[in-house]
Amino acid sequence: MRATGQNAARQGGAGQASVKQVSDTTPPWAYEQPEVHPHDPRLIDQAETERARLATLLEPWLVGGVEHVGSTSVPGLDAKPIIDLMAQVRDLDAVVDQAGEELTADGWHYVPPDLDQRPWRRFFVKPDPSGQRRYAHLHLIQAGHPRWAQQLEFRDALRRDDELAATYANLKRRLTAEHPHDREAYTEAKAEFIIEALRRNTRKTD
């Protein structure tokens, strides 16, 4: 999440009074440092619980279902202990407008596009019960956007290839040491590795 160093969670927003948003003052979890931990298999079960709940809540807008992605979806892979869930929907803003109240009731905080700075998605964060740390991310992806297939392809490549997963884990540990206070720099520094992994996977399947 970008630009939240000067912003925070509140209730409000034009047309979205019931959606819990990030806007004027920053919630503690926005400052959370990236930390890579050994794989916790409990997160896979917890992700399935969240995934099933979201599949029901978002059913009117879903095109490609709800998927558990990111490092916690790969058995044995060291990861930040945050569940990443991805939902492919027909209309991003319709989901925010029409399902925002239910998402808020389920503990999700909406990060508006002007803060997220990723116009191809709508982003929600679910903090843990303390409100200090992130428990889960929800990435709403517009139907037809290539990001959906790329996320699934990278996840599945990591699941298939133990060497790739080990290399990725080593990279993440190095990057957390290099960017201990900057989640965005940590995320952006992984991009080249992910792009190359996707290219290599494409060559293997051609």
Q: What are the φ/ψ torsions at residue 117 (nearest 5 degrees)?
A: 60, 30
Contact 134, 30 (CB under 8 A): no
* Residue 92 forms part of a structural domain: yes
Q: Tell me the CATH number at 39.
A: 3.30.460.10
Q: How many domains does the chain have?
A: 1
Is the residue at 121 inside a domain?
yes
The domain in which residue 80 lies consists of: 4-145
Q: Which residue has the higher pLDDT, 188 or 47?
A: 47
User: pTM to 2 decimals?
Assistant: 0.86
Q: What is the pLDDT of residues 64-114, one digit of tens each?
A: 899 999 999 999 999 999 999 999 999 999 999 999 999 999 999 999 999
**Which residue from 155, 149, 201, 150 is spatially nearest to 47, judged by alpha carbons?**
155
- The answer as to whether 117 is a domain residue is yes
Output the CA torsion 85→106→42→61 (10° steps).
Answer: -30
CB 92 within 8 A of CB 121: yes
Task: Classify residue 172: in a domain, yes or no.
Answer: no
